[in-house]
């Protein structure tokens, strides 16, 4: 028995070391870290930690213990929340939907700006805890009331669960602004990644809701705005850059829409949608809408493969505009509020921001745009995160704060 008791811990340690070594080698072989990205060595370490968590999550998923992203989210949320002097944080429920309310501690003689925040994470990761520092800092620096929404995530909950939760919680907040000391004329919708896409979608929805206060502005931080074209310049240039690789993005896409991952090749090559669909949306998604300077790191126009009918039948839900706000019709998009759009150079979905910026400007919607030359997807989540803090996250935070103050 003593021998077994010694062997098992040793075997577990050897196995764990083997997993770590395998993750590191795979990272070196499959992921790119450009030299001029913000803190490349730090990003390499962060990526290895993330991939290690995903790998252990995959092992636990194979053993039937928990889902891979559930494990990663569990570990992410173990870290205690940092306290920010002057900010009062309260956990509430809007109906059945959990939210975090951030309010300045100092009373105000007049109603404050209200911000509804939707966190990113590809619909499978991210939480109110991962974005706590960002929301608290926004509250503190802008003297605003912030509501962060905890929506149901994939793969347990499929599309449109996230949309319904965010819509329901936002409507609840908009109908009770007086209770939170918020000025109805100064409500902003804000989000990062898929949360940015949600902010854009809800701004479009509220165009036809005269019963609710009019949204003052939208803040879209490296937002996910379309899920049809996976061959745009930024997809080709940044598909292997952490923290959003093409493999992870595709996994998130399949989890959210309940699509089998076996269609990956057909989807990537555009064989899952009919030619008439591509033609319909080309005016908004075509690479000619992206400035040439964003193609200089390498872009090749590639013909799409002929339609695969089976792939189309399974994935046609992707053409739903509520999932891809970039393809909403002009009569809706032309009425959305002014936007602050932040894009990052080393981001798989950088083109989403560029394309939506052009659409808004073409339709006369005021846009403030900032491009972070050394930024990457998800960087803002790590603001004030100790060793894993990246300087460009503060730059983005300052951009957002200044935009809010100038409204």
* Nearest-angstrom CA–CA distance, 266 and 169: 37
E-strand stretches of 30-179: 87-94, 97-104, 112-118, 145-149
Which of 234, 377, 382, 393 does the annotation list as catalytic?
Answer: 377
- Could you tell me the CA-to-CA distances from 247 to 89, 129, 307, 357 in Å, in that order? 36, 25, 22, 26
Residue 196 near residue 223 (C-beta atoms within 8 A): yes
E-strand stretches of 20-169: 87-94, 97-104, 112-118, 145-149
* Nearest-angstrom CA–CA distance, 74 and 68: 10
- Pull the structure tokens for residue 268: 């990537």
Residue 339 near residue 366 (C-beta atoms within 8 A): yes
193 catalytic? Reply is: yes
Nearest Cα residue to 353 out of 165, 167, 218, 202: 218
Q: What are phi and psi of 15, to 5 degrees?
A: -65, -45
* Nearest-angstrom CA–CA distance, 286 and 302: 12
Nearest Cα residue to 171 out of 99, 107, 248: 99
Which of 347, 370, 382, 393 does the annotation list as catalytic?
Answer: 347
- Could you tell me the CA-to-CA distances from 305 to 17, 68, 239 in Å, in that order? 43, 33, 20
Nearest Cα residue to 78 out of 31, 29, 127: 127
Which of 73, 154, 193, 232 does the annotation list as catalytic?
Answer: 193
Residue 125 near residue 51 (C-beta atoms within 8 A): no
Active site residues: 193, 347, 377
């Amino acid at each position: 028995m003593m021998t077994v008791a010694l062997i098992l811990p040793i075997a577990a340690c050897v196995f764990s070391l083997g997993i770590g070594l395998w993750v590191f080698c795979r990272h070196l072989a499959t992921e790119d870290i450009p030299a001029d990205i913000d803190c490349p060595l730090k990003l390499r370490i962060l990526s290895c930690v993330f991939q290690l968590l995903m790998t252990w999550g995959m092992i636990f998923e194979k053993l039937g213990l928990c889902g891979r992203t559930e494990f990663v989210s569990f570990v992410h949320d173990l870290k205690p929340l940092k306290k920010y002097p002057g900010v009062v944080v309260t956990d509430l429920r809007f109906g059945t939907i959990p939210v975090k309310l951030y309010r300045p501690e100092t009373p105000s003689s007049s109603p404050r700006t209200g911000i509804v925040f939707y966190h990113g994470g590809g619909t499978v990761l991210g939480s109110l805890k991962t974005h706590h520092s960002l929301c608290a800092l926004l509250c503190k620096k802008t003297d605003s009331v912030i509501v962060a929404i905890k929506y149901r995530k994939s793969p347990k909950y499929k599309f449109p669960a996230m949309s319904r939760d965010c819509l329901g919680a936002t409507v609840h907040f908009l109908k009770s602004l007086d209770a939170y000391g918020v000025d109805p004329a100064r409500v902003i919708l804000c989000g990062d990644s898929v949360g940015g896409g949600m902010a854009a979608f809800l701004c479009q929805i509220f165009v036809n809701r005269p019963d609710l206060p009019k949204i003052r502005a939208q803040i879209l931080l490296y937002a996910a705005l379309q899920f049809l074209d996976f061959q745009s310049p930024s997809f080709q240039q940044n598909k292997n850059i952490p923290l959003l690789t093409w493999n992870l993005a595709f996994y998130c896409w399949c989890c959210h829409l309940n699509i089998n991952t076996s269609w990956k090749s057909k989807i990537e090559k555009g064989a899952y949608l009919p030619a008439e669909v591509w033609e319909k949306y080309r005016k908004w998604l075509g690479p000619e809408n992206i400035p040439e300077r964003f193609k200089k790191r390498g872009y090749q126009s590639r013909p799409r493969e002929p339609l695969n009918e089976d792939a189309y039948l399974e994935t046609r839900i992707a053409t739903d505009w509520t999932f891809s706000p970039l393809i909403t019709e002009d009569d809706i998009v032309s009425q959305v509020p002014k936007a602050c759009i932040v894009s990052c150079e080393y981001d798989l979905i950088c083109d989403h921001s560029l394309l939506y910026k052009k659409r808004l400007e073409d339709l006369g919607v005021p846009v403030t745009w900032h491009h972070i030359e050394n930024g990457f997807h998800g960087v803002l989540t790590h603001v004030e995160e100790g060793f894993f803090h990246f300087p460009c996250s503060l730059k983005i935070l300052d951009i957002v704060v200044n935009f809010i103050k100038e409204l």
